[in-house]
Amino acid sequence: MEVEAEEKEEEWSNDQNNHNNNDGAMLMIKAAILMIITMMRGDKREVGAGQVNVGEEYWYFLDELRRGQVGHIPCKTIKSQRNDPKWMTDRLKSYIGQKKNIYKGRKAGDETLWPLYSELVRTVKRLTRKAKSNYEFRVTSQAKTDPKGFFHLYKTKAEKK
């Protein structure tokens, strides 16, 4: 295996000298593979006037790999959208989740969960009403600074009637 690695190293270093800059990505990949082979062997190779140890080669490899990624791999940013209503709070969401879990248990035949389920139904209704009224109060109090939010709320209220 070591003989094959040395042959490939020699072949690729000759290729690196013969190609122009249009094959930049391919040359970077070949250089990265050469560095990995050198690191796997654990030997030192001469660079310039002195010796470079494996640790320095490793950091140089990572730096070159990062440059290649930035230069040749496209980057796409994915934004996650919140599908909850603007008045939904984390506390309310947790109560809704609890209510669903207890409903599943009740549906499976556990009748002892009935009082807890009915209590959670009342709590979720109360918290939902409170969250909606708090949101409406917050939006209307910020109507002068944020008219877009106010008119969005007004439009949704008008559509429901």
Taking only the tens place, the pLDDT of each residue in 70-123 is 878 777 777 777 788 888 999 999 999 999 999 999 888 888 888 999 999 999
pLDDT tens digit string along 12-53? 555 545 544 446 666 667 777 776 766 666 555 555 555 666
Tell me the mean pLDDT in the region 55-80: 79
Q: What are the boundaries of each domain within the chain?
A: 2-72, 90-160
CB 99 within 8 A of CB 127: no
Name the pTM for this structure.
0.47
The DSSP annotation for 97-145 comes to HHHHHHHHHHHTT-GGGHHHHHHHHHHHHHHHHHHHHHHHHHHHHTTTT
